[in-house]
């Protein structure tokens, strides 16, 4: 569009760059035996609508997310009255505990009372080597068909571990398993390392969901951190980990596959990914925020949602499907978000038309699927 190409932003307009991938040295490393006492302010503002409830502790705040904090850490099952908070262990309530262990706090009366620090994953160390240390955990709740007892529902967890199989100094492994809410010690523990022979390079999963059908889905970015000369190469693929409930074993079977996810900038990993399913588990969406070059006005300069869709419980996926925010096929509500006066504050002349402005998303979003099986995305 000629006028869009000629329009220039005024000097001094602030901007933000997408966050990069976190590296091991970006956060404090902590090992078994180290615990910390958190500094907590007791000067909470008095209010009638918010209650501050002390539940669990963790030895490392980074367990609560990175690059925007997109983690599945608080979940609920309204039918059974379950509310859960998942986190790394350690801290004041876990003396001598490890930040590489995992646990949960749970309420079975919709958040009124809580049982805290239910440890469900313990990493094993091998001298000076800690390949099972968990980081950035995610979780969900699975209630088997016919279950009416909150204690018999399961916490399902998934986390990257530091087993060094996809980076010389940190990542590469996953840990996953489940634990009955009423008995955290009755837990399962499964470990899987990066499999370079299959082209699967595990790192830090982003989106995660547990569905009502007893499936879990984790979304990661397939990045080769071990093979020279391609160390750090984004392979233009999403790595999907799919767990299915095994009733006989009371655990999950895991399969993995890749989804092509080409990006305009072949070095730029999507900034955020989510996965969600409808309540019955039939309709599902994987969504990333990136730029694959197929929205002309945005190519090389702005982000937008890209979707993959299933209508058969995850058996097959269709995509990528671009959601154009800008341009002639853009979303009218986005294009009309700025008033004429606001556009004039941003641009030197000539002032672009609404459909000529290359709107972008920010770097974090949320996703849900409504009763019609349609995706609903909330994003700045």
Which positions ≥6 away from 241 have C-beta within 8 Å? Answer: 158, 174, 176, 205, 216, 217, 218, 220, 254, 255, 256
Report the alpha-carbon distance of residue 47 to residue 133 in Å, rounded: 40
Both tokens of residue 136?
A: 């950035």
Residue 44 has pLDDT above 60, yes or no: no
With cut-offs at 50, 70 and 90, classify the pLDDT of residue 60.
confident
With cut-offs at 50, 70 and 90, classify the pLDDT of residue 170.
confident
pLDDT tens for residues 85-142?
Answer: 999 999 999 998 899 999 999 999 999 999 999 999 999 988 777 899 999 999 999 9
CB-CB contact of 357 with 327 (8 Å): no
Helix, strand and coil in the chain, % to nearest 5: 10, 35, 55
pLDDT tens for residues 191-230?
Answer: 999 999 999 999 999 999 999 999 999 999 999 999 888 8
The confidence score (pLDDT) of residue 288 equals 97
Least confident among 118-127, 151-160, 186-195:
118-127
The confidence score (pLDDT) of residue 155 equals 98
Q: What is the pTM of this model?
A: 0.90
The confidence score (pLDDT) of residue 5 equals 54
pLDDT tens for residues 262-282?
Answer: 999 999 999 999 999 999 999
Average pLDDT over residues 21-26: 51
Q: In the chain, what is the greatest distance between 2 CA atoms, to the nearest angstrom?
A: 69
Mean pLDDT of the chain, nearest integer? 88
Specify burial of residue 92 (Cβ count, 10 A radius: 0-12, 13-18, 19+): middle
Least confident among 57-66, 175-184, 235-244, 293-302:
57-66
Average pLDDT over residues 227-250: 94
Report the alpha-carbon distance of residue 263 to residue 348 in Å, rounded: 30
């Amino acid at each position: 569009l000629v006028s869009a190409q000629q329009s220039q932003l005024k000097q001094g307009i602030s901007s933000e760059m997408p966050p990069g991938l976190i590296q091991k040295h970006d956060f404090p490393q902590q090992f078994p035996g180290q615990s910390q006492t958190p500094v907590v302010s007791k000067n909470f503002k008095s209010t009638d609508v918010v209650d501050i409830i002390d539940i669990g502790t963790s030895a490392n705040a980074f367990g609560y997310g990175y690059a925007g904090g997109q983690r599945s850490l608080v979940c609920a099952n309204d039918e059974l009255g379950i509310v859960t908070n998942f986190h790394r262990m350690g801290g004041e309530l876990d003396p001598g505990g490890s930040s590489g262990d995992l646990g949960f706090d749970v309420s079975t009366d919709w958040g009124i009372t809580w049982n805290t620090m239910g440890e469900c994953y313990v990493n094993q160390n091998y001298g000076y080597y800690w390949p099972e240390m968990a980081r950035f955990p995610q979780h969900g709740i699975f209630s088997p068909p016919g279950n009416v007892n909150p204690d018999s529902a399961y916490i399902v967890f998934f986390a990257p571990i530091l087993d060094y199989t996809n980076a010389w100094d940190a990542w590469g492994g996953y840990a996953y398993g489940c634990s009955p809410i009423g008995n955290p010690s009755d837990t399962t523990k499964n470990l899987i390392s990066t499999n370079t022979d299959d082209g699967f390079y595990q790192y830090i999963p982003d989106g995660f969901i547990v569905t009502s059908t007893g499936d879990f889905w984790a979304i990661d970015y397939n990045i080769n951190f071990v093979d020279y000369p391609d160390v750090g190469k984004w392979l233009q693929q999403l790595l999907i980990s799919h767990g299915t409930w095994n009733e006989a074993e009371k655990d999950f079977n895991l399969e993995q596959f890749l989804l092509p996810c080409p990006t305009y900038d072949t070095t730029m990993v999507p900034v955020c990914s989510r996965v969600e399913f409808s309540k019955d588990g039939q309709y599902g969406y994987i969504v990333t925020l990136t730029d694959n070059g197929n929205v002309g006005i945005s190519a090389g300069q702005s982000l937008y949602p890209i979707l993959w869709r299933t209508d058969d419980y995850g058996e097959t996926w269709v995509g990528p499907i671009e959601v154009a925010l800008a341009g002639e096929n853009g979303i009218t509500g986005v294009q009309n978000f700025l008033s004429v006066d606001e556009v004039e504050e941003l641009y030197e002349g000539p002032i672009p038309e609404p459909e000529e402005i290359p709107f972008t998303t920010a770097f974090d979003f949320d996703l849900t699927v409504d009763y019609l099986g349609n995706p609903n995305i909330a994003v700045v």
